[in-house]
Amino acid sequence: MTNTNNEIDIRGIEDFLYLEAQLLDDVKLMEWMELYDAEGKYWMPSSLEQTCAETEISILYESKLLMDVRRRNFGHKLSASMEYAIRGCRIIGNVRLSKEQPDASLIRVLSNFHAHLFYRDEVTLFAGKYTHDLKIVGGTYKIVQKRVDLINADGVQRNLLIYI
């Protein structure tokens, strides 16, 4: 939120980012989805230079409809790929406001992340940069877009079963 001087509460934003990471670590996808605005998007581009999610291929570009179908599919007993435990541990750091703020109604926050995922007997490290576009609705933050730039966005990809 902002204080009386209209300054952005970076500590409050950090707490919000930690909460989001925690919900993914715990695979609480329903609660995680609720952090998103109704038109909110989760975007993981396939190159660091990518500017458009619609005309270039992305690893993920999900609306709430897809998040909802995905949460219902997650851990489904009829899915071969979901038979294995999926555990994550996400660390967020270098949280700062972006110098470029897209729009007065949004707060653009940059951060770095390391995420370890355990799946199919392997631990994989994902690393990169998050760009959260947040808005304040009814005294709380909502994610309008979360962009996840993996350092290996344009590298050869392997199975990814959960949002990073």
Partner 1 sequence: MTKVANVASVRGFIFASLSKDVPTIEEFLGDSIRTINNVADRAPEGEIEIVGKPFRYEHDSNWKMFIENLNDTMHPMVTHASVGKAARSFLADQPEGTKYPGEAEIIFPFGSSYKFFDDMKVTALNYGHSYVGGESSIHTAYSDIPDYIEAMNAAYGTERTNEVFSQNRHNTIIYPSFTIKDAVQCMRVVRPISVDKTIIETWHFKLKGAPIEMLKRTIMYSRLINSNASMVGPDDWDCYKRMHEGLRSTATEWVDMRRGLGEDTVPVQMGGERSFGTSDLSFRNQYKAWANYLKQGGK
Q: Which of 2, 22, 79, 94 binds partner 1 (CB under 8 A)?
A: 79
Decide whether 82 or 92 has the Cβ nearer to partner 1.
Answer: 82
Per CB under 8 A, the segment of 4-12, 19-27, 55-63, 106-114 that binds partner 1 is 55-63
The answer to the question of residue 125 lying near partner 1 (CB under 8 A) is no
DSSP per-residue codes, 109-139: EEEEEEEEEEETTEEEEEEEEEEEEEEEETT
Binding to partner 1, residues 83-102 (CB under 8 A) = 83
Of the candidates 56, 96, 101, 137, which one interacts with partner 1 according to CB under 8 A? Answer: 56
CA distance 88 to 56: 28
By three-state DSSP, how is residue 101 classified? Answer: coil
Cβ-based nearer residue to partner 1, 79 or 140: 79
Q: Within 3-97, where are the H helices?
A: 10-25, 29-33, 64-73
> Which residues are CB-contacts of 92 (< 8 A; sequence separation ≥ 6)?
14, 17, 18, 21, 111, 112, 113, 130
CB of 152 to partner 1, least distance (A): 11
- Which is closer to partner 1, CB of 134 or CB of 161? 161
Structure tokens at 93: 């750091």
Q: How many residues bind partner 1 (CB under 8 A)?
A: 35
Dist. CA 59–CA 46, nearest whole Å: 6
- Give me the least distance between CB of 79 and partner 1, in Å please: 4
Residues that bind partner 1 (CB under 8 A): 44, 46-47, 54-61, 63, 65-66, 68-70, 72-73, 76-83, 154-161
